[in-house]
Structure 1
């Protein structure tokens, strides 16, 4: 069910939501959190779809604040409520804000938050410079950004480290979960030799590549080398591969084709391993499983990333 509320107020939206619940019983009350999504006007649907999918694991209320860029136009709010099959296991409240009214982000969403429930804020596109100090970031237990969508992804990652506060996280880190798990599993097998050096390769616009390199350098306490290549030359974006150098030889985990990586270890046959690129739904669902601060991410983004050497062109 989709209910449109043109030129409305947040109070009217709240009353309409109560009316829908009373009349149709379409909205369950067992929500565990409020997810606030902040997007530019017209770029809401991909984030809503990811939230709807994730809501099957985390029933929640989703508030989407979609803002126009023209501050000179007349202030108004167009609301929309989605419940039932149009909202997954969540209830979606979409607020399209035009003009100066969109500047009061906290005021627009406060009356729509679930009482006594955690608040998560997600910026799918351009995050604020200081997420924790932004109007919505101040009321959130968890603040999710995505450096990969910024105009300058690597610079956005560096800014996140400079302005980090507990509760900040980024999908560039979440996308590393499968890589980190696979590399940890490999090093947990004999021979238990120390890693002497690390090489991580990836696309030049991949913040995940930088985070993976920083994590390995920090955790293994070795020198790490970051190699970059254009997506066109490799055929894919993101992380391309990792080499862990030990006395007995080099362990290589390289993704040459989408969703599959090849693991090469000294004295063992090569293995093809499923290593798919994670969807927005997967990343969001993972972050919502834990609402407490990710201390390891904070350590990597604050201490590991600044210590990375300047990246080298792959093959040089």
Structure 2
């Protein structure tokens, strides 16, 4: 069900949520957090769809801010039931000027005594914890994938890093990191002299993976790029026993090469936004390994 509330207030929105709760049952039962999405310069419907997918695993209240130009009133929309997945969605369309006090705007809509997660699908705040939404959140999720200069943005995020920060460019590496760690454990001499990566010219994941490998293994890393590639294509670790390599040319199936073993084909499809968001919502604690990788990027120059 979708309920439009043009020219409204947060008081009226709360009243409608209460009415819907009484008419349709306790729709907040089992909600484990409030997910606040700053959809500035982003597709609000896509953000809602992503949140609905993640809510199947993490039922939550979703509050989305989608500022509108040439308006001086707050329009809103409430989505529950089949239009909201396993969550309840409150879409706010405030005037652009109201975004300066976005934290004040959403405070009445937060679930009491529940963690808050902030997500920026498009615009990346360089110090997420310093903006209003980030200051009130336990977890802060950015996505540097679309950055025109990912190295500069990641360095800025490193300078402003606080416990609770993370980025989908790091989340997309989870399977790659696990496979590399597992393969390296199977060789007798685990010294890595050099790591080589190949992929998209604007892939911040490559920079984060290289920084993580350098910090973890103490090795050099080299990155090459292809403007026709999509994301990370291949990783190769040079060891005294031979090369450990993962090569994924089609963005779906990868070939794992290990010293003294036959090649294996493993499915590593590119992760959807919903999958990335669901993974990040599984933890409310800090991810220090991400922070260390960010720090290493600065020292890598």
Please indicate, yes or no, whether the TM-score normalized by the shorter chain is above 0.5.
Answer: yes
User: Who is 1:305 aligned against?
Assistant: 297
Instruction: Choose the corresponding residue for 1:167, options 160, 164, 185.
Output: 164
How far is the alpha carbon of 1:155 from its aligned partner? 2.1
Once superposed, which parts of structure 1, at least 4 consecutive aligned residues long, lie more than 3 Å away?
A: none
Find the partner of 2:235 among 235, 239, 242.
Answer: 242
Q: State which drifts further: 22-31 or 286-295.
A: 22-31
Partner of residue 313, structure 1 = none
Identify the residue that residue 52 of structure 2 maps to in structure 1. 52
Distance 1:253 1:74, change over 3 A: closer
Which residue number corresponds to residue 219 of structure 2? Answer: 222
CA contact (8 A) 2:233 2:251 kept: no
Matching residue of 2:24: 24
Q: Pick from 96, 100, 104: which aligns with 2:101?
A: 104
Distance 1:253 1:308 in 2: 23
The answer to whether the 8 A contact 1:74-1:98 is kept is yes
The corresponding residue for 1:312 is none
In 2, Cα distance between equivalents of 1:131 and 1:3: 31
Q: State the Cα distance separating 1:135 from its structure 2 match.
A: 0.8
Offset at 1:200? 1.5
Whole-Å Cα distance in 2 between the matches of residues 186 and 115 of structure 1?
Answer: 45
CA RMSD, 1 decimal: 1.5
1:126-165 correspondence runs (5 A): 126-165=123-162
Cα pair 1:204 1:229 within 8 Å, conserved? yes
Residue 12 of structure 1: how far off its partner (Å): 0.5
Structure 1: state its 5+ residue gaps. 310-316
TM-score where L is the length of structure 1: 0.91
Say whether residues 1:271 and 2:268 are aligned partners: no
User: Which is further off, 79-88 or 94-103?
Assistant: 94-103
Aligned residues: 301
| TM-score w.r.t. length of structure 2 | 0.96
Query: d(CA) in 1 for partners of 2:181 and 2:259?
Result: 17
3-state SS, counterpart of residue 148 of structure 1:
coil
Answer yes or no: is the 8 Å Cα contact 2:143–2:168 preserved in 1.
Answer: yes
Superposed, 1:74-89 pairs within 5 Å as: 74-89=71-86
Measure how far apart 1:191 and its partner are. 2.5
* Worse-superposed segment, 246-255 or 110-119: 246-255
Cα deviations by residue, 1:100-139 (Å, 9 ceiling, x for unpaired)? 2333201110000000000000000012221100011110
1:190 partnered with 2:187? yes
Distance 2:109 2:77 in 1: 13
Is the contact between residue 142 and residue 168 of structure 1 (CA under 8 Å) also seen in structure 2?
yes
> Which stretch shows the higher mean deviation, 95-104 or 179-188?
95-104
State the secondary structure of the residue aligned to 1:293: coil
Question: What is the SS of the residue equivalent to 2:66?
Answer: strand
Moved more, 276-285 or 153-162: 153-162
The whole-number CA distance in structure 2 between the counterparts of 1:91 and 1:282 is 19
Label 1:6 to 1:199 Cα distance change in 2 as closer, same or farther (>3 A).
Answer: same
Q: CA deviation at 1:227?
A: 1.8
Q: Gaps (5+ residues) in structure 2?
A: none
1:147–1:154 CA contact under 8 A, matched in 2: no
Question: Kindly tell me: are residues 221 and 13 of structure 1, through their superposed partners in 2, closer, same or farther at Cα, counting changes over 3 Å?
Answer: same
